[in-house]
Structure 1
Amino acid sequence: MMRLQIFFSIFTSVICLDETYQNKRAKLLSDEFKLTLGGSLNLTDKEGEVNKCLMQYKNKELNYAFDHPEYYNLSHHFFTYKKKIRESKVYQIIKDLPKGAVLHVHDMGILGPDYLMNVTYMDKLYVCLSYPVQLRFAEKTPKLSCASSWQLMSEARRKTTNVTKFDLELRKLFTIVVDNPDVVYPSITQSWDVFMKYFLTVSQMLSHRPVWEQYFYDALKKFREDNIMYVEVRSILPNLYELDGTTYGQIVTAKAYRKAINRFMKDYPDFIGAKLIYAPPRKVDTEAVKIDLDLALEIKHNMPEHFAGFDLVGQEDKGKPLKDFVPQLETTAKELNYFFHAGETDWYGSLTDENLVDAILLGAKRLGHAYALPKHPLLMKEVIKNNIGLEVNVVSNTVLSLVRDLRNHPLSVFFANDLPVVLSSDDPGAWEADPITDDFYVAFMGVASKQSDLRMLKKLALNSLEYSALDNQSKNEALKRFNRKWDEFMKKFKCSSY
């Protein structure tokens, strides 16, 4: 009897110890989850129903990937799986979900090759088919240098024996997508070389004033169709031209944005709007930056309601570091909002990742990419202290060779610490991606915790409006509109529809 009592006493103690351990374990995991981006949000009953459906699909996909890692798409190059993800139930739900704003996108990289091919069928487009191919609208044959000869695009098509083949080859100039990306893009050098050639090819064609205005109008339409309600676009502000060769200054280009935005807002009053971030190249001297800053101030003075701020763009590893321009940038720091590209690099302790230091010291409102930020714990604390938004472009980072397996993306650190992340898409047209849904999907399924759910998606959308350049009144109105759209989606949602 005594032995039996001792046995039950030991058995009971073991159970109590096990329960204590399990309770501590569950509490640790629960407390940690609450620290993640969106982890502290509470879901309504209806949101809970939607979340249950979403997570069933998410877990099904990820459980299969865990058991069959060789088939996990997001560990490979984006070009190899971008079409496959359209079949995902999770993707389809995210596609329909209101997603707020896009705050980091470059104008000439928004619309893809199919749109650009339609532009090549417009009247009075001339082409120089020698390398590099040039495209320019004109009333008469352009006098610009051409190694072969300028001819109307319509004539070039008429002369070819196979128009389908001609167009397929032409289309390749408007995309960096290839069937064998691991061979074509073995390193960041090849990725960026082709990426830069893309912009050189499309810029002259798109800079025809009527085309430029229509292009941006159609870009806004594309964002709206992807359930985006506000956009901040970066532009180098190319000089626009007319058919007769008349060329305008950059102020006219900025005003062309205003014209397109106002026309779009009139046609689609549910859209919140768009603003311009003037973003000239960073590979210049200090005098050029001073001129650029003066232009930014002039644009702000001329169209304050459509102007967001200033940035410097281009491949960071090859461009001038921000520290070279500190004296010039300090002079306008109180007059301009800065949204600097900073830390878009795999290097650690280089001048490139130190751009993060200067961007923060110069008072940047948001950091573009901030890919190297987790290597700088003090800078992460400064980001939190100063409430600096982080414009993360996940698909861009994999396409431009910073990371391949998205489970290794530093965004996971940002998510885990509830940093002020804003998901954006950079240049989705160049790699034939959605305006923003692809980035949401790969971040949710490849970077975020398996446990991250609808709360994270909602927080990302809210962040995109909260860290925008909208004034407080407009921001509050935007948040109200978003919440209405969000609630409408929740009410209409049916899991069986997916």
Structure 2
Amino acid sequence: MWPLTKLLLINILIATSHGIVHEREALIEKELKMMVGHSIKLSDREIEANEIIMDLKREEIDYGFWNPKDFNLSKHFFEYKEQVKDTKLYKILKSMPKGAMLHGHDTAILGPDYMLELTYCDDLWVCFKEDQSDVSFIFSKHRPTGWCETKWERAMDIRRSTNFRKFDAKLRKFFTLVIDNPQEVYTDVNTVWEYFMKYFIRTGPLFTYKPVWEKYYYHTLLALREDNVMYLEIRSVLPPLYDLEGNIYNSVDTAKSYKRVTEKFKKDYPDFFGAKLIYAPIRSVATETLKNYIKIAKEIHELMPDFLAGFDLVGQEDLGKPLKEFYPELANIGLNLYFHAGETNWYGTSTDENLFDAILLGTKRIGHAFALVKHPLLMKEVQKRKIALEMNVISNVVLKLVDDVRNHPLATYLSQDMPVVLSSDDPGTWEAEILTHDFYVTFVGVSSRHADLKMLKQLALNSLYYSSHRAKRKMVHEFQIRWAKFIDAILKDRPDRVHV
């Protein structure tokens, strides 16, 4: 009798175990169907390409799982930004059509090497501080009369009279946040933002020389195209520009300059879908200043309704004025809004509660939305109202919101099919590529190990769906053509391919 009872118990345990395993698999499958990209159906060729991509992804993640000290993406971006460029997966993502870039600040998109090239322009004068800790720039036909702690010197004269390589290396350091010991120097959010803002203050007179402004923007569009981006919505404070004749161009003129260069670029490269402007002045201002910003925005919109996408306010959010202080001015602005909101680690403060105000004011997209994960009600509102989240993972690492990208709230947004778009914010200042680094870090370091080609495709498509471009169908159609070529290239280069 006992052997029979024992056999029955074993069978019951086996059946129970099989039931749990089946239920476990069903739960995992159910969860995977909640992720970004779950609704995309891959073709046979995409499935083949996906196997190649996922083998590479799993290889990197699994090695890191068993060797956590060697997992690059758990470290500071500055430590691995160059190493990952040599990986097969990075190179594949580099060639991937990425759709649109919807969150980028105009004078921080190209890196320090390009900035250094600008210092070779004629009529540039430089002035170093006494302790060499900072530098000022100005373009002028003659020696500038503005204040200088040492003396104004022509950049070309310095290069002729000294070791130009040492001079270039010295200048380059002023165009980047990248250093060897970021954790020791950039100790907290306020400290790194202080260094960050010095970049914009330092380079302002270099950028706002009108010929340089237009040259830099043209090459920004070129860099986007080279990184397989089809379209741009660029944020700008629209500073006044100047030239050597003493002319000063106001913010409206600066917007016109952007439009003119965009049209020239589209003529030179008809396969690029162009760009739109988001006027994004500084948020730490008095109400009267904000009213003037709005007046400028409306004037630009009246002159260029198809070029101005909308309005935003920028700057360090923790130290800036909360949106609620500007309700009367912003409530009936008559322009599309694309607010930065929730770019903070705090919870229950004026900064993360900007998320409430941005949503109630009708924002079309939210820049960063880092703190949104702490507001479950607002997460539902974002989905219901179809408000896109402009995520900038590497920016959040460099600017001290998160140290390990595996802990980034984007992981939660991706797992719940939130309306996410990937951008890169200010990639030039931390020497990232336009969008490839952010896609790579998101794919390998943030998203689930199971997230695959469907997620990548959906993220790219989201950037087109949530753009303000009028011809979205045309863009999506062109994207699908480029995507098919991308898939073909992956399969052509697969290592097991038999050549006949």
Task: Give the TM-score normalised by the residue count of structure 1.
Answer: 0.96
Runs of 4+ in structure 1 over 6 Å off: none
Q: 1:107-122 counterparts in 2 under 5 A?
A: 107-122=106-121
Counterpart of 2:159, as a letter, is R
CA contact (8 A) 2:158 2:164 kept: no
Q: Distance in 1 between matches of 2:245 and 2:136?
A: 18
Q: Distance in 1 between matches of 2:240 and 2:329?
A: 24
Instruction: After TM superposition, give the deviation of residue 142 of structure 1 in Å.
Output: 2.2
Distance 1:278 1:159 in 2: 42
Deviates further, 136-145 or 246-255: 136-145
How far 1:4 sits from its partner (Å)? 5.3
| Equivalence for 1:435 | 434
Q: What's the counterpart of residue 314 of structure 2? A: 313
Q: Which residue of 2 aligns with 1:487?
A: 484
**CA distance in structure 1 between the aligned counterparts of 2:253 and 2:271, rounded to whole angstroms:** 27
Instruction: Look up the match of 2:297.
Output: 296
- Residue 245 of structure 2 aligns with which residue? 244
3-state SS in 2 of match to 1:372: helix
The unaligned stretches of length 5 or more in structure 2 are: 496-500
Q: Distance in 1 between matches of 2:384 and 2:327?
A: 22
Is the CA contact 2:52–2:494 (under 8 Å) kept in the aligned structure 1? no
Cα distance between partner residues in 2 of 1:189 and 1:416 = 31
- Could you say which residue in structure 1 is the equivalent of 2:146? 144
Match of 2:161 in 1: 159
Question: 2:114 & 2:45 partners in 1: Cα distance?
Answer: 39
Matched-pair contact (CA < 8 Å) for 1:283–1:318 = yes
Name the residue aligned to 2:47.
48
Matching residue of 1:35: 34
The yes-or-no answer on 1:478 pairing with 2:475 is yes
Secondary structure of 1:301's match? helix
Deviation at 1:183, TM superposition (A): 1.4
Matched to 1:264, the amino acid is: F
Name 2:415's counterpart in structure 1: 416
Per the TM alignment, residue 158 of structure 1 is displaced from its structure 2 partner at its CA by 2.4
SS of corresponding position for 2:126: strand
CA contact (8 A) 2:100 2:460 kept: yes
Contact preservation (8 Å) 2:48, 2:491: no
State the shift of 1:233 in Å: 0.4
CA distance in 2, matches of 1:460, 1:410: 16
- Per-residue CA deviation, residues 408-427 of structure 1 (Å, 9 max, x unaligned), is 11111101111000110000
Between Structure 1 and Structure 2, how many residues are aligned? 492
Q: Distance in 2 between matches of 1:144 and 1:185?
A: 32
| Alignment-derived partner of residue 88 in structure 1 | 87
3-state secondary structure, aligned to 1:493: helix
Residue number in structure 1 paired with 2:183:
182
In structure 2, distance between residues paired with 1:279 and 1:496: 43
Any idea what the Cα deviations from partners look like across 1:156-188, whole Å, max 9, x if unmatched?
A: 22233x221111111001111001111121211
For 1:29, the aligned partner's letter is: I
- The amino acid across from 2:144 in the alignment is P
How much does 1:368 deviate?
0.4
Distance 2:350 2:407 in 1: 23
Report the Cα distance in structure 2 between the residues aligned to 1:240 and 1:270, rounded to whole angstroms.
30
Q: Is the 8 A contact 1:340 1:367 kept in 2?
A: yes
1:210 aligns with 2:211: yes
**CA displacement 1:397-456 (0-9 Å, x = unmatched):** 000111011111111110111100011000000011000000011111111011101111
Q: Is the 8 A contact 2:242 2:248 kept in 1?
A: yes
1:342-362 Cα shifts (integer Å, max 9, x gaps): 000011111111110100010
Aligned residues of 1:192 and 1:400 also touching (Cα < 8 A): yes
Q: Secondary structure at the match of 1:263?
A: helix
**2:351 aligned residue:** 352
Distance 1:224 1:451 in 2: 30
- Kindly provide the amino acid, as one letter, of the partner of residue 480 in structure 2: N
Q: Which moved more, 1:112-121 or 1:143-152?
A: 143-152
CA distance in 2, matches of 1:494, 1:124: 51
What pairs up with 1:348-387 in 2 under 5 angstroms? 348-387=347-386
Conservation of the 8 A alpha-carbon contact between 1:185 and 1:191: yes
* Partner Cα distance (1:485, 1:422) in 2: 19
Give the secondary-structure state (helix, strand or coil) at the position aligned to 2:137: strand
Letter in 2 for 1:414: Y
Q: Secondary structure at the match of 2:319?
A: coil
SS at match of 1:422: strand
Partner of 1:282: 283
Which blocks of at least 5 consecutive residues in structure 1 are unaligned? Answer: none
* Separation in 1, partners of 2:252, 2:388: 28
Partner letter of residue 81 of structure 2? Answer: K
* SS of the residue 2:142 aligns to: coil
Shift of 1:147: 2.1
- Is contact 1:50–1:495 with CA below 8 Å preserved after alignment? no
Q: Deviations over 1:221-257 (max 9, x none)?
A: 1011001000000000011111122111111100110
Verify the 8 A CA contact 2:285 2:321 in the aligned structure 1. Answer: yes
Alpha-carbon contact 2:393-2:424 (below 8 Å) kept: yes
Q: Indicate the SS of the match to 2:340.
A: strand
